[in-house]
Structure 1
Amino acid sequence: MSLPNPENASTLENAMQLLIQTFHKYSGKEGDKYTLSRAELKEMLITELGNYLGNAQDKEAADKVMGDLDSNNDGEVDFTEFIILVGALTVACNDFFLEYNDKQEKKK
């Protein structure tokens, strides 16, 4: 399977490609190039998810996310564990916007 040309890809296919590219942008910086170390995860959280995670620069916040994601306790976050984070954040954002829209409709 090859990645489709972004110009010919659907919106969802482009989103999937961006998830893959973003993960590997950070995973290849140190250690295993297919996992995120604690430092790589922290950099990614600050740079890519700072608007959604708030103060991701807080060491405790990064450690908590690492602990929550690292389901096999190997001290690294693999792609599956990364996708769980992105999926959970996406669900939370969707829930927030649904609730926000319901409140806006009730005001009318």
Structure 2
Amino acid sequence: MTQLETSMAIMMKVFDTYAAADGKPGSLSKAEVKTLLEKELPQLIKGAKNKDDVDQMIKGLDFNGDAEVDFEEFAVLVAALACACHGRKGKK
């Protein structure tokens, strides 16, 4: 597989791993999102000014208002974070 194909496969695997924790493999609960962020993006959590910021970010991911984060909503988070990190590359 190419690097991009590998990256996509890893992203899908990460989502599926955390989404399966509560028996609903198609979406992440708030608790599952928090666990995913703590384990997969620990620097993001450490960089948050307060825990309410993290809760607001999680709430903001739920575009359809169903109190869960589906794969499409998760993909938006990953893409937004990648854009933010890429924009900061080289800036000190």
Q: 2:60 — aligned with what?
A: 68
Q: Is the 8 A contact 1:70 1:76 kept in 2?
A: yes
Q: 1:82 — aligned with what?
A: 74
Q: Distance in 2 between matches of 1:87 and 1:24?
A: 17
Q: Aligned residues: percent identity?
A: 37
RMSD (Å) for aligned C-alpha atoms: 1.7
Q: Distance in 1 between matches of 2:53 and 2:12?
A: 24
Structure 2, gaps ≥5 residues long: none
SS in 2 for 1:92: helix
Structure 1, gaps ≥5 residues long: 1-8, 104-108
Query: For residues 66 and 31 of structure 1, do their structure 2 counterparts lie closer, same or farther at Cα, with a shift above 3 Å needed?
Result: farther
The ranges of structure 1 where at least 4 consecutive aligned residues each deviate by more than 6 angstroms after the TM superposition are none
Q: Distance in 2 between matches of 1:55 and 1:10?
A: 32
User: What is the aligned counterpart of 1:49 among 38, 41, 52?
Assistant: 41
Q: 1:29 — aligned with what?
A: 21
User: What is the aligned counterpart of 1:20 among 2, 12, 17?
Assistant: 12
Residue 33 of structure 1 and its aligned partner are, at CA, apart by 1.4
Q: Is the 8 A contact 2:30 2:67 kept in 1?
A: yes
**Higher RCO (C-alpha 8 Å, min separation 6):** 2
SS in 1 for 2:22: coil
TM-score, normalised to structure 1's length?
A: 0.76
Deviations 1:4-35 (A, max 9, x none): xxxxx000000000000000110001152110
Size of the aligned set, in residue pairs, is 91
